[in-house]
Amino acid sequence: MNPLLDPAVPLGPAALSRRDDIATRVRMVLGTRPGQLPWRPDFGCDLDRFVGQALTNSRLEELAEAVRAAVSRHMPEVDVVDCGVRVETRWGAPSDNERRSVPIGEAALVRFGVQASLQIELQLETESGPVAIQAVIDG
C-alpha cells in the first residue's frame, strides 16, 4: 500500500527555495496580529498599534524594533542583522474596492487621495548564508 501524501507539502522541483520559504514565513509573522490565531495567541507582530499615529523617525524606529522582535521571537533559526522601515506615499483617489479596506481613522486622508504603505527591508543571517527580504504592508 502506498503512503498518502498531503498535497499541501511541495515535493521535488515545486518545493520552495530556502529564501522563498524564509520570505513566506516572515510575511506570515508580519501579516498576523497577535491573538488572531486561537491556537497560537502570541504569534504575529503588533503593527496595528501604529495605525493612526504620526510616522515620525522615532515612530519608524519603534516599528522597526517591533518587526525585529517579532521575527526573532517566531523565527529563532535566523538572526536579524538589519531592519529598515520607510513610508511610501502615493497620490490619487483609490478605487472603491481599495477604499473599502481603509480604516475609518484614515478615511479623511483617502478623500484627499493620499495612500501610504510601509516598506520593510530585512537583512537576515541563516545557517545557509545571508538573506535579504522585502515586505510591503499596505495601509
CA distances from 17 to 12, 30, 122, 123 (A): 11, 20, 18, 17
**Strand 79-91, strand 114-126: pairing:** antiparallel
Assess whether pLDDT exceeds 80 at residue 29: yes
pTM above 0.85, yes or no: no
Range name among 5-14, 88-97, 115-124 with the lowest pLDDT average: 5-14
Assess whether pLDDT exceeds 70 at residue 11: no
Ordered by where they begin, the domains of the chain are: 16-138 (3.10.450.40)
115-137: pLDDT as tens digits: 677 888 999 998 888 989 888 87
